[in-house]
Amino acid sequence: MNAYEEYMQGIVQPMRQELVGSGFTELLTEEDVTAAMTDHKGTAVVVINSVCGCAAGLARPAVREALSQTDNQPDQLLTVFAGQEKEATAAMRNVFPEVPPSSPSIAIIKNGELAYFIPREQIEGFEMEQVRDHLTGALNQVTAS
């Protein structure tokens, strides 16, 4: 690992921990993504994490609050980190190739298929509560069907 990579690992660790500490499983390799998505059953919330301010102030807090407030809990909580684990992020994005790359973003996967997607454009510039309510509504819709 070079000095830059080592520096970035230290910077992003608290950003990772926000989700991992809330029950998310980090997918660090392409193989991790393949294992999680092959024959996927049930519902998964997938956060494509990022170092940007809208991830820190909006996406991660909104996801944590939405999950704490909804009765419609997903079966899995998964995350990849854009710009850090490039292969894992690319593999996850290949699960929903119809959606342009966006980070941060939040996907809801149901039985291996994309059921709902919240791109950066629906996170950045919004209030955290709006993003939280958007995700809560999407979870209610997807898990109820």
Contacting residues for 14 by C-beta, under 8 A, at least 6 apart: none
Q: Specify the DSSP class assigned to residue 72.
A: -
Active site residue 32: no
Measured distance CA(90)–CA(94) in Å, rounded: 6
Which residues are registered as beta bridge partners of 105? Answer: 48
Q: pTM to 2 decimals?
A: 0.94
Q: Return the pLDDT at 120.
A: 97
Measured distance CA(145)–CA(143) in Å, rounded: 6
- Asked whether residue 8 carries a pLDDT value surpassing 90, the answer given is no
Q: Which of 113, 4, 129, 109 lies closest to 47 in space, CA to CA? A: 109
**Of 48, 52, 67, 106, which one is the catalytic site residue?**
52
Work out the pLDDT band at 7, boundaries 50, 70, 90: confident
Active site residue 54: yes
pLDDT per residue over 110-134, tens digit each?
Answer: 999 999 999 999 999 999 999 999 9
* HSE, side-chain direction, 13 A CA sphere, residue 131: 28
Q: Which of 41, 46, 85, 80 lies closest to 63 in space, CA to CA? A: 46
Q: Specify the DSSP class assigned to residue 55.
A: I
**Of 47, 54, 66, 131, which one is the catalytic site residue?**
54
